[in-house]
Amino acid sequence: MQSLIFAAIGAKPEIVLVDAVNNDIRITRNTQNCLVYDRPLAAHGLTPGPN
């Protein structure tokens, strides 16, 4: 998984697809209003792992 963007507060971000094959995106406007998850996913995904 790549490019998970969520939690826009205020104006929505403007997202541009730079490379469709590699799923590369760029946020060109309102970057301050969104949260971007840019870390590699663990085997358990986005859910909390075992404690």
Q: Are 34 and 13 in contact (CB under 8 A)?
A: yes
Q: Does residue 1 register a pLDDT over 80?
A: no
The pLDDT-based confidence of 50 (bands split at 50, 70, 90) is low
Q: Judging by beta carbons within 10 Å of its beta carbon (0-12, 13-18, 19+), is residue 20 exposed, middle or buried?
A: exposed
**Would you list the domain boundaries of the chain?**
4-37
Q: Are 3 and 27 in contact (CB under 8 A)?
A: no
Mean pLDDT for the chain overall: 77
Query: What are the two backbone dihedrals, phi and then psi, of residue 46, each rounded to the nearest 5 degrees?
Result: -90, -5
Q: Are 16 and 31 in contact (CB under 8 A)?
A: no
- Written as six digits, the tokens of 49 are 């792992």
